Amino acid sequence: MSVSQSLFIRNGRIVDPSQKLDQVTDLWVRNGKIEAVGKNFSLPSEVHVQEIDATGLIVTPGWIDIHTHLREPGGTHKETIETGSRAAAAGGFTSIACMANTQPVNDSSYITTYIKQRVAAESPVNVFPIGAVTKGLKGEELAEIGSMREAGIVAISDDGKTVMNAYLFRKALDYSRRFDLVVISHAEDLNLKGLGVMNEGYHSARFGLRGIPKAAEEVIIARDIYLAELTGARLHIAHVSTAGSVALIREAKRRGLQVTAEVTPHHLTLTDEAVGSYDTNTKVAPPLREMEDIEALQEAVADGIIDALASDHAPHSREDKEVEYDQAEFGMVGLETAFPLYYSKVLKNHWDLSKLVAAMTIQPAKIIGVKKGTLSPGSDADISIFDPKKTWTVDKNQFRSKSQNTPFHGWELQGKPIYTIVAGQVVYSEVKK
């Protein structure tokens, strides 16, 4: 940057759990980095200053979503790196991590490099690729994890599919230590899941749909926790959906293991009763569970047992979704509704704001090992600013994402991202010029 640039965010409520900060004050950004937080600050007169009046708004470190699917390469009719990252910016996210289940799979440094190049050309936000654990996600041979690490991956995962071979998963955990990578587990025993399409319980009995028992998730989480203990590796559990899983993770943390976990907006807000409409946008893996699970998940975030909130943004085209329920693809989009769902449906009764912000900033940053998620001086000026009062109605036709597969269309939500700032640049703004 040849010309010295500065951004002045005035009079916002700054909430930064990494510094235990919650006060109404000013924030200075200079040359893409955080310069200072506080009042009575003066800048050298030569710099060009852009100003944002954040009165009544809440200013936090940029939000990080460590679980998204951008579908590029191979699935660009559903999403691209450009549309997915624009959806992220509109949803208030400054950093996202994208899963490896593209076509071809991100299982080599070539694909990682390709994704990085596309990101550099197209994306307004930071995008961190996640590499595959096994070649082609087939669960047979390890992917070239080290080479992908050198090319820029931040984690490995066969997300979408469980590595059913425990021996191979153990080797992946062992190997990951050499490259300081976290291994993300998609925990669903494929045999127990079978042809299931929703949670196994009273409602699957009612709706005549094949069920997926909670134990399908819990047996794999239990297995993976034992393997993390065996290997000393870092294990992260994706999209935890059951109270039983929470209990397993709670116990693993109590024993001091390096185990972290995430939960999605939909598993915090919807039960399997929603499947009764046969709206295929409610079909997701793992499936929507029951109220007792929602309560356990909300409590687990409040207790710090679940470290991160993650959208599992999974775009699918209308062709994939406007079909019979048991034929439809699993997954829903989430980037543009995630934060308002947390804010209006969970926060008020269960969490304090600093918990919510920590689970979207410093905690996910630590899981994938990136120096993000803080407004401490000198750090990257990734900032999310939202209006806590603004109410709005979800309209899937307004999404930046290329896909509209959401069960939340028409929901009244409160809290809306107003500015998304990446490296000091405003990449998304709700404010009309």
What amino acid positions are annotated as catalytic residues? Answer: 312
Among 204, 245, 311, 337, binds another protein (CB under 8 A): 204
343 DSSP 8-state letter: I
Segment lying near another protein (by CB under 8 A), choices 42-50, 167-175, 198-206, 416-424: 198-206
Positions in 240-279 near another protein (CB under 8 A): 277-278
Asked if residues 137 and 107 have their Cβ atoms less than 8 Å apart, the reply is: yes
Segment lying near another protein (by CB under 8 A), choices 46-54, 75-83, 109-117, 203-211: 203-211
Q: How far is the CB of 405 from another protein (least distance, A)?
A: 15
Cα(406)–Cα(280) distance, integer angstroms: 9
Cα(362)–Cα(342) distance, integer angstroms: 17
Among 327, 391, 393, 398, binds another protein (CB under 8 A): 327
Cα(98)–Cα(90) distance, integer angstroms: 17
**DSSP tally for the chain: helices H, then strands E:** 15, 18
Residue with the two structure tokens 């409590």: 299
| x/- map, 276-295, another protein, by CB under 8 A | -xx-----------------
Closer residue to another protein (CB): 178 or 206? 206
Among 62, 91, 211, 364, binds another protein (CB under 8 A): 211
User: How buried is residue 378: exposed, middle or buried, by Cβ count under 10 Å (0-12/13-18/19+)?
Assistant: exposed
Cα(31)–Cα(129) distance, integer angstroms: 26
Q: How far is the CB of 211 from another protein (least distance, A)?
A: 6
First to last CA, the chain: 25
User: How buried is residue 251: exposed, middle or buried, by Cβ count under 10 Å (0-12/13-18/19+)?
Assistant: middle
| x/- map, 143-182, another protein, by CB under 8 A | ----------------------------------------
Read off the tokens for 350: 């269960």
Among 28, 114, 207, 386, binds another protein (CB under 8 A): 207
Segment lying near another protein (by CB under 8 A), choices 44-52, 61-69, 122-130, 319-327: 319-327
Segment lying near another protein (by CB under 8 A), choices 60-68, 205-213, 243-251, 388-396: 205-213
| x/- map, 333-372, another protein, by CB under 8 A | ----------------------------------------
# of chain residues touching another protein (CB under 8 A): 21
Amino acid symbol at 65: D
285 DSSP 8-state letter: S
Cis peptide before 286 (omega within 30 of 0): yes
